[in-house]
Amino acid sequence: MMDPILSVRDLCVDVGTGIQVHRVLDGVSLDLFPGKTLGVVGESGCGKSMTALATMGLLPDRFSVASGSIQLAGEEMTTIKPARLRQLRGNMISMIFQELMTSLNPLLTVERQIAEVVEPHQHKTKAREIALEMLRAIPIPSPEDRLAAYPHELLGRMRQRVMIAIALACRPKVIIADEPTTALDVTVQAQIFRLLRDLQMDTETAIMLITHDLGAVAEMADEVAVFCAGKSIESGPVGDILDRPAHPYTRGLMSRTPRLKLGAAARLPDAGSLGEIPGMVPPLGRFPKACRFAPRCALADERCRSEDPPRLPVGTAQTALCWYAKEEALA
């Protein structure tokens, strides 16, 4: 079996200083393998993007890695020197950010922003050529004209494509894509996914796809990690997760997603049978002490509310952090 290109083990992230410290990620573990896509799903505020930022060494102020390991091609990222981290970011590992308005520099042209990623890692004279090649591949209409444009001159969907072009410019070995196709129409989404798949075929790139869209997961992912309140509570092959979700939270997510009639996403529920997950997502860092889903779960009992659930195997490759995982899977 091949080794993972990115391995996260027991990652814990805290926010705050002094006595006011809250844990926002608690024991997150996941692996990305060359040429494979890991879909990371869950409600807003569950820790998906925080895991990505920790992996990139881009945690916001007052957030810090409290414990755990992040290894990129065997190199420990939590203790790496800033100069080495700059060498790896953009070249070995890259991220497509979700916040379009704050991720692009309003004072630099599109060409300059792509060039800033390319020049430290490749020949400077090729920066414009690579920038133009990426804009054509995304694709962006009239790419030659867009090179000279500033972010405020582009529509939101164009800025999103520029962000994707920047992330892919150096053909990194790992791409973290945080909602890469939000607000893009289905035709453009298909183009972006096809571009990512082509890149995987050419360079064995590993992709972490963070998304709310289970249809995108069904189409793109090989493995799935389901996040809930700062933990990865279920993981396994995409077919197993979609066909037989073992955790009540995963079943809740599935019930909220309408069926897509074509492809692998046909496993998702019919539009007429949409459900909901009761209750509210807990505030950041104020998670339940034992099972993170217990206050919202119809199956929860006193043990769920007082004891941390074990990670139980379900089938051959699927696991779930739930006392009743096996019962749920076989129900």
pLDDT computed for residue 121 by the predictor: 82
Instruction: Please compute the mean of the pLDDT values over residues 204-215 and round it to a whole number.
Output: 92
The region of weakest confidence among 156-165, 255-264, 316-325 is 255-264
> At a CB cut-off of 8 Å and minimum separation 6, what does 330 contact?
none
- Domains assigned to the chain: 6-92+172-330 (3.40.50.300)
Q: Other C-beta atoms within 10 Å of 150: how many?
A: 15
Residue 17 has pLDDT above 80, yes or no: no
pLDDT computed for residue 291 by the predictor: 93
Residue 208: strand pairing partners: 38, 176
Residue 98 has pLDDT above 80, yes or no: no
Looking at every residue in the chain, the average pLDDT score rounds to 87
Q: Are strands 223-228 and 37-41 parallel, antiparallel or unpaired?
A: parallel
Residue 259 has pLDDT above 60, yes or no: no
DSSP code for 273: G
pLDDT computed for residue 319 by the predictor: 94
CA 22, 24, 26, 31 dihedral sign is negative
pLDDT computed for residue 329 by the predictor: 58
The region of weakest confidence among 141-145, 154-158, 244-248 is 154-158
Instruction: Please compute the mean of the pLDDT values over residues 294-310 and round it to a whole number.
Output: 92
pLDDT computed for residue 101 by the predictor: 61
pLDDT computed for residue 262 by the predictor: 39
pLDDT computed for residue 201 by the predictor: 87
pLDDT band of residue 202 (cuts 50, 70, 90) is confident
Q: Which of 154, 147, 178 is nearest to 164 (CA)?
A: 178
pTM assigned to the model: 0.89
How far is Cα 6 from Cα 101, in angstroms, rounded to an integer? Answer: 28
More confident residue, 136 or 265: 136
The region of weakest confidence among 28-32, 240-244, 256-260, 312-316 is 256-260
Q: Other C-beta atoms within 10 Å of 15: how many?
A: 20
pLDDT computed for residue 74 by the predictor: 93
pLDDT band of residue 66 (cuts 50, 70, 90) is very high
Instruction: Please compute the mean of the pLDDT values over residues 127-151 and round it to a whole number.
Output: 90
Residue 311: strand pairing partners: 321
How far is Cα 139 from Cα 60, in angstroms, rounded to an integer? Answer: 32
pLDDT computed for residue 264 by the predictor: 46
CA 119, 123, 125, 126 dihedral sign is negative
**Burial class of residue 125 (count of CB atoms within 10 Å of its CB; 0-12, 13-18, 19+):** exposed
pLDDT computed for residue 203 by the predictor: 86
More confident residue, 274 or 216: 216
pLDDT band of residue 235 (cuts 50, 70, 90) is very high
Query: pLDDT tens digit string along 22-55?
Result: 899 999 999 999 999 999 999 988 999 999 999 9
Amino acid of residue 86:
R
Return the structure tokens found at 77. 């990222």
> At a CB cut-off of 8 Å and minimum separation 6, what does 3 contact?
none
pLDDT computed for residue 265 by the predictor: 46
Instruction: Please compute the mean of the pLDDT values over residues 179-192 and round it to a whole number.
Output: 78
